[in-house]
Amino acid sequence: MAREFTSIGVVGLGTMGAGIVEVLARNGLDVVAVEVTDAALDRGRGHLTGSTDRAVARGKLSEADRDALLGRVTFAVGLDSLADVDLVIEAVPEHLDLKQRIFADLDKVCKPAAILATNTSSLSVTEISVATTRPDQVVGMHFFNPAPIMKLVEIVKSVVTAPDVVADVEALCARLGKVDVTINDRAGFIANALLFGYLNHAVTMVEGHYATREDIDAAMKLGCGLPMGPLALMDLIGLDTAYEILDTMYRRGGRDRRHAPAPLLKQMVTAGLLGRKSGRGFYTYEKPGSPVVIADELTPAATDPAATTADIHRKIRKVGVIGSGTMAAGILEVLARGGYDVVSITRGAERSARLAESVRTSLTKAVIRGKLEESERDAALERVNWSAALDDLADVDLVIEAVVEELSVKTALFSSLDEICKPGTILATTTSSLPVIECAMATGRPADIIGLHFFNPAPVMGLVEVVHTIRTSPETVATARALVESLGKHSVVCADRAGFVVNALLFPYLNDAVRMVEASYSSADDIDYAMKLGCGYPMGPFELLDVIGLDVSLAIQRELYLEMREPGFAPAPLLEQLVTAGYLGKKVGRGFRDYR
Ligand SMILES: NC(=O)c1ccc[n+]([C@@H]2O[C@H](COP(=O)([O-])OP(=O)(O)OC[C@H]3O[C@@H](n4cnc5c(N)ncnc54)[C@H](O)[C@@H]3O)[C@@H](O)[C@H]2O)c1
């Protein structure tokens, strides 16, 4: 029989502690909430009342329930008031010496049977536990931010944690409506070990002016369906906390350079830019603690969308699309629906006929789903000219090529286009991994060459990465961006580096997940759970790998590794083996999971 917890102490009422108090009190538990000073206690109480008031305003909590919830919480300064609780959850800043001191004190104050839990994200639960005389009753309870919303709790057991303590804490999580995964004591556990390399990488992108904060965040939201971009998430976590987590993971997790905190983070923390809690981090907030972003000096000036669309239609009327695969079909459908005249070029009449059929089918589906009028479908199809002769591109204003992902094929094509197309025509490649500059230098007009990286399926995905080389003119970038916006899609601008924004941030994370399974730290199922329930990702990494295809993922990861030479980017041997074995994912019925 699991032990019954009636009263629980929470130490530290910051970002996490206040949220944990709310979760406990909401589920009928008495809570003793402890801070270090009266001022900190008032702040902590403010977090709790602010959050519960918002829940009332949104109709998620009745006023009576809020009052009952708050009535279950006793606030106190100092640890002495924790003498009678059954469990303490510690959520003070991420410093080992501070946590060890607090656990030594808790050990003295709390009754012998009490369980002592830490919410640490990266420190060793074992090292914290040995500061007490009851290390077998010490456990990690890693909640996710915001604690009242995120469903996951990682329960971390050390080698000496008693099995009944783990079982009791698991039962408590179930009572709180949380889903737990129980794991051993390793830096970053599951979710943070996979998350923080990615977050730190995004910070280095801002630091290196590779792309703007808005573009990086939009890329990950629209390209991967994440609930927040990495920089907004850093602000939510708190930059001081994020710094400490990275620093600990670097030291405990094998000195992986990807976890060495980006220098910019240290500067921001020193300058007091801690994220939402201080009112300013990567973004600026209405006031400290507020989730509302306000404009600052880095906010891009708003453009008038109506004017942009009119301007771009004056400048770009006719677009060539080369290729007959999935991407070419999607892109020409999007362009034709967007009102552009399109010249489709394939390698023969038969291919053109098949392509025309697939575009018609796709548009008809949109009609059936009520997204398009029949007349609009017919008008869109009328706008496309089907051809097998590159010479038909002589008078187009823009060409987008979506042919096979082979550099020699693309450079030869760009060289021909340079001869055929009128001066001023912009030539774009949809490559997802090859250097755009190679295409540019195959022509005599490198200022007019750009990457337009659409996502699959192009008619559905709202993102296009606009990739400029060191030779692309600002005018070409502006035109490409306006074209993308006129198609109702969001453009993010980035420099010409392997993986651009989305793939460079996504694939190393997927590769790390494979390494975690390879190291037998956790299972594919638990990792998928952790990322979905702890971080709100729409799919876990293994679900996603199976959908993308393991061969495609391996190829992208290889490109990233070859260009960056970052040891942490080396493809996981397990990924290579699965590809060799022909387990390529859903498309063949078997990848990380068996679909047959
Ligand atoms: N921020 C996140 O997204 C997140 C997510 C999961 C876990 N965590 C972990 O939770 C813990 C707390 O992080 P946070 O982001 O809430 O930090 P925070 O800085 O927002 O809050 C820490 C609180 O602890 C209080 N405190 C400091 N010393 C104390 C003491 N001796 N006694 C009582 N209270 C004391 C501070 O006054 C502050 O209110 C860390 O271990 C962190 O790694 C954070």
The model's pLDDT over 189-204, given as tens digits with 9 standing for 90+, comes to 999 999 999 999 999 9
Ramachandran category for residue 500: left, alpha or beta (phi over 0 → left; psi -120 to 50 → alpha): left
Give the model's pLDDT for residue 435: 94
Q: Whose CA is nearest to atom 36 of ligand 1?
A: 12
Across 161-171, average pLDDT: 97
Average pLDDT score, the chain: 95
347 pLDDT higher than 80: yes
Alpha-carbon distance of 545 to 293, in angstroms, equals: 34
The model's pLDDT over 18-77, given as tens digits with 9 standing for 90+, comes to 999 999 999 999 999 999 999 999 999 999 999 999 999 999 999 999 999 999 999 999
9 pLDDT higher than 80: yes
Pocket test for ligand 1, best of 10, 13, 16 (most atoms within 8 A of CB): 16
Enclosing H/E stretch for 116: strand 115-118
Query: Which 3 state secondary structure label does DSSP give 538?
Result: coil
Pocket test for ligand 1, best of 121, 195, 248 (most atoms within 8 A of CB): 121
Told to judge if 503 belongs to the known catalytic residues of this protein, a careful annotator would answer: yes
Told to judge if 465 belongs to the known catalytic residues of this protein, a careful annotator would answer: yes
Q: Whose CA is nearest to atom 3 of ligand 1?
A: 237
- Phi/psi at 255 (5° precision): 50, 45
Q: Whose CA is nearest to atom 27 of ligand 1?
A: 92
| pLDDT confidence tier of residue 220, bands split at 50, 70 and 90 | very high
The model's pLDDT over 468-478, given as tens digits with 9 standing for 90+, comes to 999 999 999 99
Using the mean position of ligand 1's atoms as its centre, give its distance from the Cα of residue 229 in Å: 23
2 pLDDT higher than 90: no
The model's pLDDT over 222-276, given as tens digits with 9 standing for 90+, comes to 999 999 999 999 999 999 999 999 999 999 878 999 999 999 999 999 999 999 9
Give the model's pLDDT for residue 450: 98
306 pLDDT higher than 80: no
Give the model's pLDDT for residue 3: 85
The model's pLDDT over 488-538, given as tens digits with 9 standing for 90+, comes to 999 999 999 999 999 999 999 999 999 999 999 999 999 999 999 999 999
1 pLDDT higher than 70: no
Using the mean position of ligand 1's atoms as its centre, give its distance from the Cα of residue 127 in Å: 18
Catalytic site residue from 35, 214, 401, 465: 465
Give the model's pLDDT for residue 19: 96
Percent of the chain beyond pLDDT 90? 94
DSSP-derived secondary structure letter, 326: H
Told to judge if 357 belongs to the known catalytic residues of this protein, a careful annotator would answer: no
Alpha-carbon distance of 427 to 470, in angstroms, equals: 15
| pLDDT confidence tier of residue 116, bands split at 50, 70 and 90 | very high
Using the mean position of ligand 1's atoms as its centre, give its distance from the Cα of residue 30 in Å: 21
Catalytic site residue from 121, 145, 352, 432: 432
355 pLDDT higher than 70: yes
Told to judge if 259 belongs to the known catalytic residues of this protein, a careful annotator would answer: no
Question: Which ligand 1 atom sits closest to the C-alpha of 241?
Answer: 15
The model's pLDDT over 309-325, given as tens digits with 9 standing for 90+, comes to 777 877 899 999 999 99
Q: Which amino acid is at 387?
A: S
Helix axes 326-337, 349-368, angle to 10 degrees: 60
Question: Which ligand 1 atom sits closest to the C-alpha of 101?
Answer: 31
Give the model's pLDDT for residue 314: 75
Q: Which amino acid is at 80?
A: D
Find out whether 233 and 199 touch, Cβ atoms under 8 Å.
yes
Give the model's pLDDT for residue 570: 97
Alpha-carbon distance of 12 to 132, in angstroms, equals: 19
Across 281-292, average pLDDT: 95
Mention every residue, 6+ apart, whose C-beta is less than 8 A from residue 255: none
Question: Which ligand 1 atom sits closest to the C-alpha of 90?
Answer: 11
Residue list, ligand 1 pocket, CB within 6 Å: 11-17, 34-36, 40, 44, 91-94, 102, 119-121, 142-145, 237-238, 241, 245, 277
Handedness of CA 517, 201, 122, 40 (dihedral sign): negative
Across 556-573, average pLDDT: 95
63 C-beta neighbours (distance < 10 Å), count: 10
Question: Starting from the edge strand earliest in sequence, which strands make up the sheet with 179-184, in order?
Answer: 73-77, 30-35, 7-11, 87-90, 115-118, 138-143, 152-157, 179-184
